């Protein structure tokens, strides 16, 4: 993991002291709510449906065991004993008191955590492949670059009052597990013909009320120019992005209205003026950051215990089949811990579960944890020899659901149960689907599938990129749900297509069942759900759901 320096520590200490003073001045009346609101947002503090909500940054989704323990302590001491892991690799606490937030930030700062820029019109948490540094197929660890960008963007004076929020994602592998095509800037690590490493730069992707797939603004950017090029893009956006209409203020609108050719010309012109200057990356600085991500020594260990257990225990074998990903070190595995128990709240973890995960990370994963944007937790460096013991410990903690990547692994925003922006609830829909399709055999028969649920058109549940997307809306005072099919967030990006008229809450599960039955009826041997939908289009599913 990135090793924090004295500068990082000092920055956090000063920031928490500053916010403590701002809270005091708000409570004393020196600051009005209009003056305080942008300040609290830039420290991740919202006023939500029931209470304040604090969004804590988990930079590129990487946490240490000690940091997870502190999150558990905060959940217990200042909140209601749980937290929610989000679709941008962060954690949210739903019930903090404003007067306690300075103390919460102090506790977070002690382990290098914070809530800086997790809201507001600024550059947000830079997300990355949650399997970074462990997975076999990556060209480079994207977290090195995510950390470089984090340092550049934190408290950047020129970019603290952007037209709107700004989200950056980085992938280090050709298989895109960071949804780069749906971010304001997406960075794909590439090697050019000469073997030089750099980035394909994408711009203008996003979801929300106007989903758009990003455009390529540069096919190859040498590593050394990463920050100067990003600076050029942000400057063009900061100057030209709309500020008259909140719903037209993201960079995707600017790119769309300007056209990518003209937008690229503006960026390249700005870049020409600032490249090769102070923002050129110094290789020794990058090397220092990279050192922190070198990863643990992983000695060879016999995998006998795992192999033997696989052969005799079909429940364990099912868990291994769905919850493990190949590690670059053959005798290790990347373990996904599902936070989607049948009928559970997607992405929620109690303080006790967080402590269990911290303990298991210490015992089995070299102290390291990742948060996946699908709202699950990753233990990235587990020796296969330790998998049986890990599985049993997860099972004892209620964390061994063998449903990763299957129908039960639903991604859902908090929805109207928590969020002031929402129009409909999303959690009960996720729970109903999960309960209805709980049988492991049914899950396996359907195979890999992503169901995403958003409680409003802001799309925090990423429904546009769900293989099945569910959008909650309000119609005549009642909750209604629209279904989309065919969304993809990987290297073959696609926006889901609306299937037809919406459903009441009671109608969603039967509709999903009909979609899945149609898939099973029409699929070719071994064909996944998304491949079948891509091949067939919506028509057979529309017919199945709505009739001829």
Partner 1 sequence: HRSRTMAEQHRRVVEGLPKIVTANHLRGGDVVYLRSDRSWTAALAEAALWEGEAVEDGLDIGRTAETDRAVVGVYALDVVVDDAGRRHPRTWRERIRAAGPSVPYGTAALAALQGS
Residue 263, C-beta contacts closer than 8 angstroms, at least 6 positions apart: 203, 204, 215, 217, 236, 254, 255
Selected from 51, 155, 317, 326, the binder of partner 1 by CB under 8 A is: 51
Selected from 222, 341, 388, 448, the binder of partner 1 by CB under 8 A is: 341
Based on CB atoms, which residue is closest to partner 1, 86 or 94? 94
Q: CB 99 → partner 1: shortest distance, Å?
A: 5
Q: CB 110 → partner 1: shortest distance, Å?
A: 24
Question: How far apart are alpha carbons 54 and 79 in whole angstroms?
Answer: 10
| Residue 398 found at the interface with partner 1 (CB under 8 A) | yes
- CA 196 remoteness from chain centre: 29
Pattern 347-366, partner 1, x by CB under 8 A: -x-x-x--------------
Q: CB 369 → partner 1: shortest distance, Å?
A: 20
Q: CB 284 → partner 1: shortest distance, Å?
A: 46
Q: If we measure between CA atoms, which residue out of 380, 394, 395, 516 comes closest to residue 447?
A: 516
Selected from 19, 52, 316, 364, the binder of partner 1 by CB under 8 A is: 52
Q: If we measure between CA atoms, which residue out of 154, 157, 165 comes closest to residue 121?
A: 165
Q: Which residues pair with 168 in a beta bridge?
A: 185
If phi > 0 it is left, if psi is from -120 to 50 it is alpha, else beta; for residue 92 that is: beta
Pattern 445-484, partner 1, x by CB under 8 A: -----------------------------x--xxx-----
Q: CB 319 → partner 1: shortest distance, Å?
A: 18
**Tokens (6 digits) for 37:** 């609101």
| Residue 34 found at the interface with partner 1 (CB under 8 A) | no
Q: CB 433 → partner 1: shortest distance, Å?
A: 14
Selected from 9, 81, 283, 501, the binder of partner 1 by CB under 8 A is: 81
Q: If we measure between CA atoms, which residue out of 229, 223, 235, 233 comes closest to residue 275?
A: 229
Selected from 20, 80, 362, 514, the binder of partner 1 by CB under 8 A is: 80
Selected from 6, 7, 29, 526, the binder of partner 1 by CB under 8 A is: 29
Q: CB 430 → partner 1: shortest distance, Å?
A: 10
- CA 358 remoteness from chain centre: 20
User: Cβ distance 198 to 192 under 8 Å?
Assistant: yes
Count of residues touching partner 1 (by CB under 8 A): 43
Question: How far apart are alpha carbons 505 and 501 in whole angstroms?
Answer: 13
Give the interface segment with partner 1, choosing from 11-19, 196-204, 423-431, 510-518 (CB under 8 A).
Answer: 423-431
| Residue 418 found at the interface with partner 1 (CB under 8 A) | yes
Q: Within positions 87 to 116, which residues make up the interface with partner 1, using CB under 8 A?
A: 94-99
Based on CB atoms, which residue is closest to partner 1, 222 or 341? 341
Question: How far apart are alpha carbons 31 and 28 in whole angstroms?
Answer: 8
| 314-323 helix and 387-396 helix, angle to the nearest 10 degrees | 100
Residue 244, C-beta contacts closer than 8 angstroms, at least 6 positions apart: none
Give the interface segment with partner 1, choosing from 8-16, 78-86, 121-129, 218-226 (CB under 8 A).
Answer: 78-86
Selected from 3, 13, 24, 27, the binder of partner 1 by CB under 8 A is: 27
Q: CB 47 → partner 1: shortest distance, Å?
A: 6
Burial 484-508, CB ≥16 within 10 A → b, else e: bbbbbbbeebbbbbebeebbebeeb
Number of residues that this document lists for the chain: 548
User: Cβ distance 132 to 171 under 8 Å?
Assistant: no
**Tokens (6 digits) for 191:** 């090697």
| Residue 344 found at the interface with partner 1 (CB under 8 A) | yes
Question: How far apart are alpha carbons 254 and 82 in whole angstroms?
Answer: 39
Selected from 38, 292, 295, 343, the binder of partner 1 by CB under 8 A is: 343
| Residue 155 found at the interface with partner 1 (CB under 8 A) | no
Tell me the CA distances in angstroms from 513 to 125, 380, 465, 472, 506, one per residue in order.
36, 34, 20, 18, 12
Question: How far apart are alpha carbons 332 and 302 in whole angstroms?
Answer: 10
Selected from 60, 82, 152, 364, the binder of partner 1 by CB under 8 A is: 82
Give the interface segment with partner 1, choosing from 242-250, 316-324, 328-336, 345-353 (CB under 8 A).
Answer: 345-353
Binding residues vs partner 1 (CB under 8 A): 26-29, 33, 47, 49-52, 80-82, 94-99, 341-345, 348, 350, 352, 398, 416-418, 422-425, 427-428, 431, 435, 474, 477-479
């Amino acid at each position: 993991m990135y090793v924090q320096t004295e500068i990082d520590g000092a920055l956090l200490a000063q920031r928490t002291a500053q916010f403590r003073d701002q809270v005091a001045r708000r409570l004393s009346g020196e600051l009005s709510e209009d003056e305080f609101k942008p300040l609290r947002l830039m420290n991740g503090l919202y006023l939500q449906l029931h209470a304040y909500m604090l969004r804590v940054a988990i930079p590129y989704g990487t946490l240490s065991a000690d940091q997870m323990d502190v999150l558990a302590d905060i959940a217990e001491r200042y909140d209601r004993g749980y937290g929610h892991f989000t679709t941008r690799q962060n954690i949210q606490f739903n019930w903090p008191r404003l007067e306690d937030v300075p103390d919460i930030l102090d506790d977070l700062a002690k382990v290098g955590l914070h809530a800086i820029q997790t809201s507001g019109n600024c550059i947000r948490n830079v997300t990355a492949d949650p399997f970074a540094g462990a997975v076999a197929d990556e060209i480079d660890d994207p977290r090195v670059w995510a950390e470089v960008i984090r340092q550049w963007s934190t408290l950047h004076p020129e970019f603290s009052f952007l037209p709107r929020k700004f989200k950056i994602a980085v992938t280090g592998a050709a298989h895109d597990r960071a949804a780069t095509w749906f971010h304001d800037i997406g960075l794909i690590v590439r090697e050019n013909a000469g073997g030089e490493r750099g980035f394909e730069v994408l711009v203008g992707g996003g979801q929300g009320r106007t989903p758009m797939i990003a455009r390529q603004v540069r096919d190859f950017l040498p590593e050394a120019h990463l920050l100067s090029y990003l600076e050029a893009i942000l400057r063009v956006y900061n100057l030209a992005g709309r500020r008259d209409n909140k719903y037209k203020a993201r960079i995707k609108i600017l790119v769309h209205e300007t056209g990518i050719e003209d937008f690229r010309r503006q960026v390249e012109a700005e870049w020409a003026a600032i490249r090769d200057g102070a923002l050129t990356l110094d290789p020794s600085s990058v090397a220092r950051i990279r050192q922190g991500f070198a990863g643990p020594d992983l000695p060879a260990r016999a995998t006998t215990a795992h192999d033997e257990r696989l052969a005799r225990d079909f429940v364990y074998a099912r868990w291994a089949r769905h919850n493990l990903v190949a590690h670059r070190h053959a005798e290790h595995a990347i373990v996904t811990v599902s936070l989607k128990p049948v009928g559970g709240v997607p992405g929620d973890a109690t303080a006790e579960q967080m402590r269990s995960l911290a303990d298991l990370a210490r015992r089995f994963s070299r102290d390291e944890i990742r948060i996946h944007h699908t709202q699950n937790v990753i233990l990235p460096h587990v020796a296969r020899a330790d998998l049986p013991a890990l599985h049993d410990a997860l099972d004892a903690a209620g964390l061994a659901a063998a449903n990763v990547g299957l129908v039960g692994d639903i991604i859902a925003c908090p929805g109207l149960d928590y969020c002031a922006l929402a129009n409909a609830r999303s959690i009960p829909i996720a729970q109903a689907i999960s309960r209805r399709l709980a049988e492991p055999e049914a899950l396996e028969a359907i195979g890999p599938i992503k169901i995403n649920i958003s409680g409003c058109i802001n799309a925090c549940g990423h429904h546009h990129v769900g293989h099945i997307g569910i959008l909650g809306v309000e119609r005549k005072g009642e909750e209604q749900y629209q279904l989309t099919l065919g969304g993809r967030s990987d290297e073959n990006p696609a926006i889901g297509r609306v299937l037809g008229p919406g459903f009441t809450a009671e109608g969603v599960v039967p509709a999903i069942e009909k979609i899945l039955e149609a898939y099973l009826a029409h699929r070719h041997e071994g064909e996944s759900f998304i491949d079948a939908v891509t091949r067939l289009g919506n028509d057979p599913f529309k017919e199945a759901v709505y009739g001829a």
